[in-house]
Structure 1
Amino acid sequence: MSVPQSPDAVLDGLRRLAHRLVAELAGPVRRVRLRSGETVLEVEWHVPAQAAPGAAPAPAPSAGPPPPEPGRLAVRAPVVGTFYRAPEPGAAPFVAVGDLIRSGQVVGIVEAMKLMNEVTADQAGRVVEVLVHDGQPVEYDQPLIALEPAGQRSG
């Protein structure tokens, strides 16, 4: 019979495992995500724009949609985590395509380590596209919602 461990003990074990794993891998590591039960450890390194001489170029991110079209604004993820369009399961989404939003308005939530981080628009505009599905993992600064700037109308 196994004795349940405290979340701190599980996290410490995941940290040790991540350290060993990174040390054993050849080449640069961009992201490590380990899970034990409900506890998740996710570590990401930001690769400098100018890689060291002789180093292989960093692979382009494969996940996520392309950036918004020229002339559009984007509401971006404030942290790495999981994007949610509504305040709780089954609730209406914060915004939908066609909605006119104001600067500072909450347009979604990104959950990171059990903390709910509000995603707010930094400019007013009309929602023209939601770029990320509900419950999808997102990267820091990833475009989440495409906006047409306030005052513009598409043809």
Structure 2
Amino acid sequence: MATADPALASLSQGWCALSLLHGKVESHVERALESEHGLSVREFSLLDVLSRQHKGSGGHLQMKQVAEAVVLSQSATTRLVTRLEDRGLLRRHLCDTDRRGIYTEVTEEGRSLLAEARPIHDIALREAFDSAAENPVLAPLVRTVEKFQSPA
């Protein structure tokens, strides 16, 4: 049954295109990271987010913030942290000022693996976007994403 509202139909088509782009990019990057470094995209993202923390005031993220950054539920994030901790890539410790707070930080082994995996991640990401740009439905989305830049 077709949608009577053309604006909703257009929105739905846009969402489908965005979902397709995300799926294609994520699966390509996932295959590259897994085959080269035994990391999933989520594991890489978690290591990346946590590696950007710093010691001192305001330097640590709460697990809720980490979950939001890697787009997972808090329970899924906790399971992911546990898997990486079991591999020696992360460690958890209690907050000095609030015993309820648990911080997670990347170990030297985790930082090393992240540094090794980053070029593979970046190459696979570029390949995935270049491939998607060849699809006329996805090309406008690719151009939009490519306009985003980190603040200087």
TM-score for both structures, normalised by structure 1: 0.22
Instruction: From the two aligned structures, give the one with the greater strand fraction.
Output: 1
Which fold has the larger relative contact order, with Cα–Cα distance below 8 Å and residues 6 or more apart in sequence? 2
Instruction: From the two aligned structures, give the one with the greater helix fraction.
Output: 2
TM-score for both structures, normalised by structure 2: 0.22
